[in-house]
Amino acid sequence: MKFHVGIIGATGFIGTPYRAQIRAASADAEIVALCARRRGPLEDAAREDGARFITNDWREVVEHPDIDLVMVVTPDALHHEVVMACAENRKHMICDKPIGANSKEAYDMWSAYKNSGLGHFVPFWTRYIGVFGRAREIVTSGMLGEIRGIVCRWQNPRPEAMPFTWRDNAELSSSGSIGDLGSHAYDTVRWITGDEAVRVVTHARVITPPKPDIGDPNLDEALDWGETHTLGNNEDVRAGTAFDYGSVSIEFKSGAIGYLMASHARYIRKGLTPDLELHGTKASLGIARLAGQLTIAWPEKDAEILEVVQDREPGDDFAQFAFPGVRQRAENKGNDHPGLDDGWRAQLFTDAAALSAKRGTWVELAELDSQIK
């Protein structure tokens, strides 16, 4: 099955590198149509991709008769209507995470594709990082015993002078850093351990000062601007409303306890400690994503490096994972790759975490689940 792809949000921070990967996977797919807001970048992208059709109206992509797979890489709050229209028009679909503005939208999407005969894929790419895959093997082997404690840190600090973007706007960004980074972190934890959160309590806030307001840049443009400018006293500024920091205490179905920190704040830098710690009844495992390093600690022994995992070369994620994942779901041959069901589970967690931050109390995930179904 060779896919004929339409991309909605084609020229943004996510859409641009995804297009490059699809071009590289020419045996699996060809880009037929592109949709974006601004005509100039859209025309440039079409020339680069050899796309035959461009538009500012996403409906024209979803309804295009030559397209059988639609990729949705727009702001979170704009996913639901597009994905539901994809299902109605019998299109396979790849949707960026968080998959919706809330868990009700996420469940709607999953329900529309479940048992539909249509393929779907959600880019939880961290499942494919070598050190996390090896950690999953270690947990499955029983080397650590029963997992009783989980500590997860997911930081992606932004440049000091980076201007305001849609990701700082709570109306467009699903729970801010909790949704953007926390969805990856939680999916990684549940994939490695096989466990699910049952209740959470969260402290979250906007800790970055108001940012320069330069209009309506996409994330690529904002990052470039932030790298080439310094903060002054003359810019118009705009305060963010989407959380850029959150710390979540978690109780899991197994009885394990955990802590997850997600942050885009420029002050909270990465690489100092393991991204993930798994503490079992037999041993504890530290997982350092950037270094590819696994560190193990046995009872009454000093921690030691267990192994260093060489990661694969980037650039072929769509050929190796995304397109096989869509095919597998379409052919009902399993769920080895992340799909809308995983997107919904992650969103249920991030919604509960965001609600807890607003209430200041523990929130049961079952409370949100019962309101959906």
Kindly state whether residues 118 and 134 are assigned to the same domain.
no
- Does 40 share its domain with 55? yes
The count of structural domains within the chain is 2
Please say whether the beta carbons of 135 and 287 come within 8 A.
yes
Whether pLDDT at 217 is above 70: yes
Domain at 286, CATH number:
3.30.360.10
Could you tell me if residue 370 is inside a domain? no
Are residue 215 and residue 322 in the same domain, yes or no?
no
In a domain, 371, yes or no: no
Residues 274 and 139 placed together within one structural domain of the fold: yes
Q: Residue 234's pLDDT is what?
A: 63
Name the residue among 55, 264, 279, 84 with its Cα closest to residue 167.
264
Report phi then psi at 252, rounded to 5.
-100, 160
Residue 343 lies in a domain: no
Q: Tell me which residue range forms the domain holding 87.
A: 3-125+316-338
> Residues 61-79: pLDDT tens digits?
999 999 999 999 999 999 9
What's the pLDDT tens digit per position in 164-210? 998 899 888 878 999 999 999 999 999 999 999 999 999 999 999 99
Residue 32 and residue 15 share a domain: yes
The per-residue pLDDT for 1 is: 85
User: What is the three-class DSSP state of 223?
Assistant: helix
**Poorest-confidence range of 129-138, 177-186, 216-225?**
216-225
Amino acid at 182: G
pLDDT at 231: 78
In a domain, residue 372? The reply is no
Name the pLDDT band for 137 (thresholds 50, 70, 90).
Answer: very high
The answer to whether residues 272 and 142 belong to one domain is yes
Residue 289: its pLDDT value, please?
94
Let me know whether 191 and 81 are in one domain.
no
CATH number at residue 97: 3.40.50.720
pLDDT attached to residue 226? 87
The Cα–Cα gap between 196 and 191 comes to 9
- Pair 250, 355 in one domain: yes
φ and ψ of 256, to 5 deg: -65, 155
Is the model's pTM score more than 0.75? yes
Answer yes or no: is pLDDT of 233 > 70: no
Question: Listing from the earlier edge strand, what are the strands of the sheet with 197-205?
Answer: 304-308, 293-297, 284-288, 276-280, 147-155, 257-263, 245-252, 197-205, 363-364
Query: What average pLDDT does the structure give for the chain?
Result: 95
Q: Say if 373 falls within a structural domain.
A: no
